Structure 1
Amino acid sequence: MSAPDPHVSPRLTPADHRALSDEAKRDPQAYWRKVAQRLDWIEWPNKIHDATNGWFADGTLNASVNCLDRHLATRGDQTALIWQGEEADNIIRMTYRDLHERVCRMANVLREEGVKRGDRVAIHLPGVTEGIVAMLACARIGAMHVVLFGGFSAEAIADRLADSGAVVAITANVGRRGAKRIPFKATMDTALGLRPLSVRRLLVVSVTDDSVPMQTGRDAALEPLLEAAMPSCDAETMSANDPLFLLYTSGSTGKPKGIVHGTGGYLTWASYTQEMVFDHQPGDIFWCTADIGWITGHSYVVYGPLANGGTILLFEGMPSSPHPGRWWDVIENHKVTTFYTSPTAIRALMREGDDVPDARNLSTLRVLGTVGEPISHDAWTWFHDVIGKGRCALVDTWWQTETGGIMISPIPGAVKEKPAAATLPLPGIQPVLVDEKGAPIDGAAEGVLCIDGAWPGRALTIWQDDGLFQTTYLKPYPGHYFTGDGARRDEEGYFWITGRVDDVINVSGHRIGSAEIEDALATDHAIAESAAIGVPHDLKGQGIVVYVVPRDPSAAEMESRAVKAITAKVGRYAVPERVLVVPDLPKTRSGKNVRRLMRKIACGETEGFGDLSTLANPDIVPTLIEIAQRATS
């Protein structure tokens, strides 16, 4: 493979963006018919979209074929997947031909195990190639993959296995996280023993030489089965609206919701957005750091880049293990051109200092991206200036599990960036701001973010509960898709995400977004990270409590510095009731702050927190409780 060119011109211009947006709004049927041509269809869809039948209803295709087979004639020997293990010299490179054969073998193994069209297959793996192979194998035979995040507890896994009705599960003997061993098989064994489940076969990937107990009649080592399987496998012909996968996301009640995405619409959207937002070019090395257990991993580790014939990178290790700068080493060694990660990861990397990335050659980078939460001005600037050297495009993307892919984002060459702004919608997306009564708000304003009209990537439903899907997303503001997020639109029409609607704090009638307070705190470089929480207040309705993590644990007067920053940036009305100086914030393993937990602790609760096994740092909880109790004593 020739070296990527970091100086290639972007595909789109501002005029192109305006023209595409106008075309999509003027004649959406014609626009999406043209976009659908980016896929290979077995039966071309004559029905593009209607409210009753959804997207491309009479079209048929196969997602695995679109990600693999159609590339074999022109790029069969191109690298499709680079896997970087924890050790620097542990590298696997798979061409499209290699990956196709591996997926076919896996698909044949699943068929031999009795998996048929419409069945669910649970995938519970660390960052190894078999996860991607298993996803594409399920797609090939028409089974729905249900990827389970590796950090889930046995109880959380059992809940999802029971709800999905998975018939086969794939796990690992162990996972590796630095020097630690994560007991994947043991956790799955516990999950399968908690209650009667429909899983009849457990396939085990050997990530290390560690031996694990195998239950006779149920468990089988996967590798011998793959070696014995045939290297070719006919693909199922799927309707565009046949489910491709089921992915669980947290619900407001705490019960996970099984989000169902279809085949034709979702794959169209993943391909369209990956090319447009990341300015995908031949020769790109695309690294999205997300776990495949989350939607970002589905859309931008697997389906989007591979549908577009790209080269993806998968890294087994952690950002700073065994030494600071490990991620930058990976970028330098593999000549990564596109790097897509989370603001949480960026903040952690900032703490290591500028000299760490400055010691590496990151000149192949062309596009940087962020996902998962609003990014602060401070973190955006560091990422742009220190990592991108001021020459890389930086796309701060807004989207959700339910949207299937990116909705609002800068586009290299076409939509100018503003630090910490989501900016403009992609062509074909029509965001609207509404007030609490659902009335649209025009011009520069702040309100509830909804989406008008339809787009191919929207989820089909919630598994076995379409009523909940309607109630959650379509009924709150009739005629609109309700995102659950608040946003501000500036004079140029740019959108700024202010946080979840339930993260908007109402202090004496003043509605203050948690992101607004956190952005203010980020202006003080002594503060590495923060979270603003609303708590009940007898007089004001709600008061504000902020958690701050200092860059220097020994720094003094952090409380007064935090108050000063908020007062200067937001105003006196936003001054917090309490400032809790803490060593870290509780986060999921995907990097999101667990605000519900922080809210409970700030309100004085000391128990009833539910399952904490999905936290990356559960040991921080007792420390936060102790600090909060001292602050109120």
Structure 2
Amino acid sequence: MANEETLKLIAESTKVAPPDSYRSASYLQSEAAYVEKYRASIEDPEGFWREIADELTWQHRENVIVTGDLPDFQFFPGSQINVAENCVDRHANHPLSRNKVALFFEGENGERRSVTYLQLQREVSKFANVLQSLGLQKGDVVSVYMQNLIETYVVLLACFRLGVIYNTVFAGFSAEALRERIVSSKAKAVICANGSYRRGKVLRLKEIVDEALECENDVEHVIVYRRVPELETPMTADRDHDYDTLMASASAECPVVPLDANDPGLLIFTSGTSGKPKGIVHAGGGFLIGTYAYTKYQLDLRPEDVYWNTADIGWLTSHIFVLVGGLALGTTTILYEGAIDYPHQGRLYEVMERYQVNKIFSAPTAFRMMLKYGLELAQKYDLSSLSLLVSVGEPLNPEAWQWMRKALGRGDVVINNTWGQTETGGTPLASIPGATAMKAGSCGVPFFGHQLEVVDNEGKPVPDGTPGYLIIRNPFPSLARDIFGDHDRYLRSYFAQVPGAYFTGDSAVRDTDGQFWVLGRVDDVINVSGHRISTMEMESSLINHPAVVEAAVVGQPDEVKGAVPVAFITLDKTFTANEELATELKQKIVSDIGSFARPERIHFVEAMPKTRSGKIIRRMLREIIQNGEVRGDVTGLEDSDILEKLLLDVTGQGNLV
């Protein structure tokens, strides 16, 4: 789980206090305040969640806060709340915030737009009426295949307004990956952009949708927003509709639909170790309550902030901290389409300077990219407004942490390296920026109402400083309620390992100061630039090629991306290993999954290291590419003689230590 060097770093880590200038404006302003509020939230979790609920707008409110326990629980059963009302209407209907900018949009092609909360309310209501005119209603599922656009937010908030369950699909996914998610979710409609700008090129999204729908499916309607007006866009009669045409005739009045706080609100697919993506179901009301709390206390987010979360809307981070959490708190947010270092390496800084962003949230990959481009570039821009830098998606290495603080924040900012999952619907571990101390590489402290522990194989807590499995002992509102269409898999995946607790699948260490350090996955899922990719999904793609007999994919650490996939292949004897075949296999993964899953390298090997039961020992493959040798136990090998040859194939050294 962790090597000696990592454990030494954790043991010797030092605490860095938040600057006084930040502390004085924070919701919580001392470590003692955090400790007291956390203690109270654990002793009386209903009291904490009641306090959060009191800050939101309800259509009907019962006195019951929580019923049941893991894995079957409900928050505010019988109470009715609408996400869109809380994220849009309560700001649009208030005289002090109705004309406040909700979203600034920056296109990679230089286009700039903005929308106020009042304008957003009108657009959301109109699109909700569009959905109703097409027969969509509460409980129906739609798939949304769009990039970061104001229109994308309009679509998703309209779904929340009606109780239509949405499923966003990253606009970098291939037709096959999109098809899997459309079919698995039984989507009745697909909403897409016709194209997207990415590094100066136009991605033809509508054509990918058409290819994805070349199968048996439940889709009745495809709504197309023409993001690229001059792009020739194929339209299928009676099925395809133009977004702007539908909106032109829609009414701007649409009352919100009363929804139980535990009704399904959204689906988000995440990679699983079995290879088949899991459709994670989040309750709409529960998601709102949880994300509002995370965003308020972990980002100190306020209406006066100008905030930029660089996550793509295809990933849940954007839903947690922008679409729902950010808008519910009435802040002004930036949406950016495309690559944040295009058309020049300073584009991210340029946008931050233009809007005087004071809080930025991104993946460690982006911060490592900034480090790579150097201090001189950063110093060309006015970043003096920055007060908080937030990271999520994968472990943040101390070198990047130190650079962020000194280069971007002049040594006077708060850095909040958080931990969360698609399934948690938020970040159960993070700093409380004005209250708790920072540590380079740490994921901070448990959030209010969340009981986290590091345990051994038997589910018993391990001593501080000892690696173990990260679990959560109690329910919280934003925790996933199911896997769509497969409740047994939900129970097996998250609650079978440690009865009565949520098993995160991550390894971690809690240090002697009570801060948590998440070390990585304990299963075969790797993080590439913050994107979780199932190695099994990649292996399935490779094995479907006629040349491939066996395939194994492992992650190799990368200083910019966090990890990159490396594939090991044994070939059918009728095929010859060469660069052309390697390129063909890489392209197959790109076609089946997406370009971000492209293997960094492919190693053609004569045999795989296997157990006596025939399972490939991927741990040995990781050790070979990371260390150039196998250091761990080799007694379980079916054939120990293959290691010498495997090392020669991979490293060219042919020696085993």
TM-score norm. by structure 1 comes to 0.82
Partner-residue secondary structure (3-state), 1:23: helix
Partner-residue secondary structure (3-state), 1:60: coil
Counterpart residue type for residue 95 of structure 1: T
Inter-partner Cα distance in structure 2 for 1:187 and 1:592: 29
* Alpha-carbon shift at residue 15 of structure 1 (Å): 2.0
Counterpart residue type for residue 49 of structure 1: V
Q: Does the CA contact (< 8 Å) of 1:6 and 1:366 recur in 2?
A: yes
1:450 aligned to 464, 467, 471, which one? 471
Q: Does the CA contact (< 8 Å) of 1:267 and 1:457 recur in 2?
A: yes
Aligned partner of 2:78 in structure 1 is 58
Give unpaired runs (5+ residues) of structure 1. Answer: 505-513, 519-532, 534-543, 551-583, 585-590
1:9 aligned to 25, 40, 58, which one? 25
Inter-partner Cα distance in structure 1 for 2:603 and 2:360: 33
Aligned partner of 2:520 in structure 1 is 499
Q: Indicate whether 1:230 and 2:254 are aligned.
A: no
Q: Indicate whether 1:39 and 2:61 are aligned.
A: no
1:432 aligned to 446, 453, 477, which one? 453
**Residues 288-303 of structure 1: matches in 2 within 5 Å?**
288-303=309-324
* Alpha-carbon shift at residue 8 of structure 1 (Å): 6.3
Q: Does the CA contact (< 8 Å) of 1:290 and 1:301 recur in 2?
A: no
Number of residues paired by the alignment? 551
**Residues 469-618 of structure 1: matches in 2 within 5 Å?**
469-502=490-523, 547=556, 593=563, 597-598=565-566, 600=568, 611-613=589-591, 614-617=593-596
Inter-partner Cα distance in structure 2 for 1:358 and 1:237: 50
Partner-residue secondary structure (3-state), 1:598: strand
Change (3 A) 1:31 1:621: closer
2:391 aligned to 362, 370, 378, which one? 370
* Alpha-carbon shift at residue 157 of structure 1 (Å): 0.9
1:196 aligned to 193, 202, 216, which one? 216
Counterpart residue type for residue 230 of structure 1: S
Change (3 A) 1:117 1:96: same
Aligned partner of 1:113 in structure 2 is 134
Aligned partner of 2:103 in structure 1 is 81
1:114-144 CA-partner distances (Å, limit 9, x unpaired): 1011001111012221111110000101100
Aligned partner of 2:289 in structure 1 is 268
Partner-residue secondary structure (3-state), 2:232: coil
Inter-partner Cα distance in structure 2 for 1:481 and 1:16: 28
Inter-partner Cα distance in structure 2 for 1:381 and 1:624: 35
* Alpha-carbon shift at residue 393 of structure 1 (Å): 0.7
Aligned partner of 1:218 in structure 2 is 239
Q: Does the CA contact (< 8 Å) of 2:266 and 2:282 recur in 1?
A: yes
Inter-partner Cα distance in structure 1 for 2:303 and 2:24: 10
Counterpart residue type for residue 612 of structure 1: V
Partner-residue secondary structure (3-state), 1:345: helix
Inter-partner Cα distance in structure 2 for 1:16 and 1:224: 53
Inter-partner Cα distance in structure 2 for 1:192 and 1:363: 48
Aligned partner of 2:13 in structure 1 is none
* Alpha-carbon shift at residue 444 of structure 1 (Å): 3.5
Inter-partner Cα distance in structure 1 for 2:59 and 2:143: 28
Question: Percent identity of the aligned residues?
Answer: 34
1:26 aligned to 35, 39, 43, which one? 43
Change (3 A) 1:470 1:217: same
Q: Does the CA contact (< 8 Å) of 2:398 and 2:441 recur in 1?
A: yes
Q: Does the CA contact (< 8 Å) of 1:105 and 1:226 recur in 2?
A: yes
Aligned partner of 2:359 in structure 1 is 338
Counterpart residue type for residue 11 of structure 1: Y
1:373-409 CA-partner distances (Å, limit 9, x unpaired): 0011111111111111111111001010010111111
Inter-partner Cα distance in structure 1 for 2:523 and 2:136: 41
Q: Does the CA contact (< 8 Å) of 1:285 and 1:336 recur in 2?
A: yes
Inter-partner Cα distance in structure 2 for 1:547 and 1:53: 39
1:50-71 CA-partner distances (Å, limit 9, x unpaired): 2155111111011100101111
Counterpart residue type for residue 42 of structure 2: K
Q: Does the CA contact (< 8 Å) of 1:423 and 1:495 recur in 2?
A: yes
Aligned partner of 2:640 in structure 1 is none
Partner-residue secondary structure (3-state), 1:100: helix
Inter-partner Cα distance in structure 2 for 1:475 and 1:233: 44
Q: Indicate whether 1:162 and 2:183 are aligned.
A: yes
Q: RMSD of the TM alignment (CA)?
A: 2.7
Aligned partner of 1:559 in structure 2 is none
Q: Does the CA contact (< 8 Å) of 1:80 and 1:311 recur in 2?
A: yes
Inter-partner Cα distance in structure 2 for 1:33 and 1:364: 34
Inter-partner Cα distance in structure 2 for 1:619 and 1:161: 23
1:48 aligned to 65, 77, 84, which one? 65
Change (3 A) 1:308 1:91: same
* Alpha-carbon shift at residue 6 of structure 1 (Å): 7.8
**Residues 354-393 of structure 1: matches in 2 within 5 Å?**
354-393=375-414
* Alpha-carbon shift at residue 282 of structure 1 (Å): 2.9
